């Protein structure tokens, strides 16, 4: 994290969008928000990977449709490289395929470009804190998909096995892990989960790591969707 002129730690943000006007606008709006520092910009997915490696941002604001490498491809590449930034998809597209591809790739949030600057700043803070943030229009699509998956198999074709990896039964989790997973699915950060369960953030992180390993999931976004799919939220 970067520190502002008052010495207060700020969230380091990298903006990745192929439209210069959009990047300039986002920078101007977010620089007015307390606790957020824009550390760089990228005009496509390839540049986003290079700038992320060089600048070590806390959060990457990632557009979906960019030349050379899409936002989804860049998100997947960042996760596969094990880099730390949380990815917040910021786009004009709320198409189902974009939404689920982005979440599957490891994005921690998905918001649309018509939201107010203060709401975007709040979304950045949420994902930086370890939470998941979905635009209401996008969240409704996720809920609809989960409802579809819970419908008896005879009514619909089998769900795409590549969308989420096969996982052991929820019963594989300890009672405490189930509590953590339930709170994680609400979008709570590690700090908020710890406060509610009276445990440290470090212990929360350990529980989440165990949950991901037991369920064969990649990140907390997939864990949150898994929890909703299995009635734990």
Q: Which residue has the higher pLDDT, 95 or 209?
A: 209
Most confident among 35-39, 220-224, 226-230 (mean pLDDT): 35-39
Q: What gap in Å lies between CA 230 and CA 233, rounded to an integer?
A: 8
Residue-level pLDDT at 4: 53
Residue 173 has pLDDT above 80, yes or no: yes
The pairing of strands 2-3 and 9-16 is antiparallel
In angstroms, the first-to-last Cα distance of the chain is: 32
Residue 11 has pLDDT above 90, yes or no: yes
Residue 152 has pLDDT above 60, yes or no: no
- Kindly indicate the confidence band of residue 148, based on its pLDDT and cuts at 50, 70 and 90: low
Domain boundaries, the chain: 2-135, 158-229
Q: What is the mean pLDDT of the chain?
A: 84
The CATH number of the structural domain formed by 2-135 is 3.40.50.2300
Percent of the chain residues past pLDDT 90, beyond the cut: 39
Residue-level pLDDT at 169: 60
Residue-level pLDDT at 157: 46
Residue-level pLDDT at 123: 94
Q: Which residues pair with 62 in a beta bridge?
A: 16, 89
Residue-level pLDDT at 233: 64
Residue 224 has pLDDT above 70, yes or no: yes
- Kindly indicate the confidence band of residue 158, based on its pLDDT and cuts at 50, 70 and 90: very low
What is the topology classification, in CATH, of domain 158-229?
Answer: Arc Repressor Mutant, subunit A (1.10.10)
The token pair at 41 is 């910009």
Q: Which residue has the higher pLDDT, 191 or 51?
A: 51
Residue-level pLDDT at 1: 60
Q: What gap in Å lies between CA 1 and CA 108, rounded to an integer?
A: 18
In sequence order, what are the residues at sequence separation of 6 or more whose Cβ sits closer than 8 angstroms to the Cβ of residue 119?
111
Q: Which of 30-39, 56-65, 157-166 has the lowest mean pLDDT?
A: 157-166
- Does residue 89 contact residue 114 with C-beta atoms inside 8 Å? no
- Kindly indicate the confidence band of residue 150, based on its pLDDT and cuts at 50, 70 and 90: low
Residue-level pLDDT at 167: 46
């Amino acid at each position: 994290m970067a520190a502002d002129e008052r010495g207060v730690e700020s969230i380091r943000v990298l903006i990745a969008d192929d439209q210069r006007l959009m990047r300039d606008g986002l920078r101007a709006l977010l620089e007015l928000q307390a606790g957020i520092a824009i550390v760089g910009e990228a005009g496509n997915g390839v540049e986003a990977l290079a700038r992320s490696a060089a600048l070590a941002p806390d959060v990457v604001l990632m557009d979906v449709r960019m030349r050379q490498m899409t936002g989804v491809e860049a998100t997947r590449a960042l996760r596969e490289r094990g880099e730390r930034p949380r990815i917040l998809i910021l786009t004009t597209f709320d198409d189902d395929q974009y939404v689920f591809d982005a979440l599957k790739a490891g994005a921690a949030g998905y918001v649309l470009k018509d939201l107010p600057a203060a709401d975007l700043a709040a979304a950045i803070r949420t994902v930086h804190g370890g939470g998941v943030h979905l635009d209401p229009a996008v969240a409704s699509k996720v809920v609809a998909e989960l409802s579809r998956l819970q419908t008896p198999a005879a009514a619909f074709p089998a769900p795409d096995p590549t969308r989420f990896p096969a996982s052991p039964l929820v019963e594989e989790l300890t009672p405490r892990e189930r509590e953590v997973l339930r709170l994680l699915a609400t979008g709570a950060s590690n700090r908020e989960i710890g406060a509610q369960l009276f445990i440290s953030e470090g212990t929360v992180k350990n529980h989440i790591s165990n949950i991901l390993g037991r369920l064969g999931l990649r990140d907390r976004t997939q864990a949150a969707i898994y929890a909703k799919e299995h009635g734990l939220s």
